[in-house]
Amino acid sequence: MGKIAFVFPGQGAQAVGMGKDAYESHAAARAVFDHADEVLGFSLSKLAFDGPDEELRQTANTQPALLATSIALLEMYKETKVKPDFVAGHSLGEYSALVAAGVLTFDDALRLVRLRGQFMERAVPGGQGAMAAVLGAEREALQGLCASITANSGLVELANVNCPGQIVVSGSANGVAELVERGKEAGAKRVIPLDVSGPFHSSMMQPAADLLSEELSKVTFNSALVPVIANVHASPVTSGEELRELLVKQVVSPVLWEDTIRYLIGEGVDTFVEIGSGTVLAGLIKKIDKSVQVISVNSAEAAAVAL
User: Which residues have a catalytic role annotated?
Assistant: 91, 201
Residues 220-239 as b or e (16 or more Cβ within 10 Å = b)? ebeebebbbbbbbebebbee
What radius of gyration, in Å, describes the C-alpha atoms of the chain?
18
Q: How many CA atoms lie within 13 A of 73 on its CB side?
A: 31
Is-contact 130 193, C-beta < 8 A? yes
Number of neighbouring beta carbons within 10 Å of residue 34: 14
Q: In 3D, which of 97, 36, 65 has the Cα closest to residue 255?
A: 97
- The helix or strand, by DSSP H or E, that contains position 172, with its residue range, turns out to be strand 166-172
Cβ atoms of 274 and 296 closer than 8 Å: yes
Burial call 277-287: b when 16+ CB within 10 Å, e when fewer: bbebbbebbee
Distance CA 214, CA 195 (A): 29
- What is the dihedral sign for C-alpha 84, 87, 90, 93? positive
Alpha helices (runs of H) in the chain, residue ranges in sequence order: 20-25, 27-40, 44-50, 53-56, 59-77, 93-100, 106-123, 139-152, 173-182, 206-216, 240-250, 257-266, 280-288, 300-303
d(CA 304, CA 78) in angstroms, rounded, equals 9
